[in-house]
């Protein structure tokens, strides 16, 4: 009796198979439960976990991108590579796919632990995944998962759950008429911080998510150039991933 070969990594069949399976490993393990963050996402109520604050921030960023329509699906601890196909075994942190077929594997690291040896491993993984048409990225607590980004995403997500949609639409209409406003100017017009953050989570308003939100912060109807910094590749100067995500909408 013949045995059906597993789908080739990077193929549509492989992607469907990976998403249909449970995570390749549990993040909780022997670690402290306080370090594990289970976050309900915009993907049909799917709960995605992160180990520690940096991974939790990664989930928030992925959820924002999914809620905004930039990515179609993502999964934690998605699969284990095989010796036959990959040469060695690893379990990446997250798998991300776009509606146009682009596939991304994301590792989340604490920047201070990226030694020359770790970087060499990341570079090797990037080459391996590239050979099967998968883009490999490393996100760290310095870039793009900074403290300011994490704080803003947390506040945006929280506000989106308690601010009525009609208030968000009123703010959106105001921004449509005025294009760019400072937060202080919006307060003068009767809008509070929660409305701005809720609108930002729903892509009805934009500001520099990687900066401290303060009275002089510019809020606009259209994405600002700094929005691309949310989803940079491992190169601090690169905007390729964001650009490809935008084309997949």
Higher pLDDT, 84 or 245: 84
Contact 74, 48 (CB under 8 A): yes
> Does position 27 have pLDDT exceeding 70, yes or no?
no
Q: Is the domain of 104 the same as that of 44?
A: yes
Of 52-61, 90-99, 198-207, 231-240, the one with minimum mean pLDDT is 231-240
What does the block give as tokens for 66?
A: 């999914």
79: in domain: yes
pTM of the model: 0.83
Same domain, yes or no: 137 and 17? yes
CA torsion, ordered 65, 21, 25, 47, to nearest 10 deg: 40
Identify whether residues 108 and 35 lie together within a single domain. yes
User: For the domain that residue 64 is a member of, what is the CATH number?
Assistant: 3.40.1350.10
pLDDT band at 241 (very low <50, low <70, confident <90, very high): very low
Say whether 158 sits in a helix, a strand or coil: helix
Residue 228 pLDDT grade (very low, low, confident, very high; cuts 50, 70, 90): very low
Structural domain containing residue 219:
160-228
Does residue 177 lie within any of the structural domains?
yes
Q: What is the pLDDT of residues 54-101, one digit of tens each?
A: 888 999 999 898 888 888 899 999 999 988 888 889 999 999 988 777
For residue 249, tell me if it sits in a domain.
no
Question: pLDDT digit string (tens) for 119-130?
Answer: 999 999 999 999
């Amino acid at each position: 009796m013949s045995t059906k070969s597993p789908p080739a990594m990077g193929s549509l069949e492989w992607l469907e198979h990976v998403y249909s399976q449970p995570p390749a490993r549990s993040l909780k393990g022997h670690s402290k439960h306080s370090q594990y963050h289970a976050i309900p996402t915009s993907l049909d109520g799917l709960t995605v976990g992160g180990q520690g604050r940096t991974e939790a921030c990664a989930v928030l960023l992925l959820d924002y991108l999914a809620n905004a329509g930039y990515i179609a699906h993502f999964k934690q601890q998605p699969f284990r590579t095989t010796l036959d196909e990959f040469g060695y075994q690893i379990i990446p942190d997250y798998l991300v796919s776009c509606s146009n077929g682009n596939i991304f594997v994301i590792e989340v690291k604490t920047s201070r632990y990226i030694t020359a040896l770790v970087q060499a491993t990341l570079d090797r993984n990037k080459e391996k995944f590239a050979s099967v048409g998968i883009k490999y990225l490393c996100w760290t607590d310095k870039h793009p998962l900074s403290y300011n980004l994490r704080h803003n995403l947390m506040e945006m997500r929280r506000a989106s759950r308690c601010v009525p949609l009609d208030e968000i639409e009123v703010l959106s209409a105001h921004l449509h008429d005025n294009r760019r406003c400072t937060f202080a100017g919006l307060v003068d017009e009767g809008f509070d911080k929660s409305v701005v953050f809720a609108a930002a989570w729903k892509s009805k308003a934009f500001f520099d998510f990687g900066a401290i939100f303060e009275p002089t912060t510019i809020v606009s109807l259209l994405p600002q150039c700094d929005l691309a910094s949310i989803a940079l590749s491992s190169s601090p100067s690169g905007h390729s991933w964001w650009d490809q995500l935008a084309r997949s909408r």
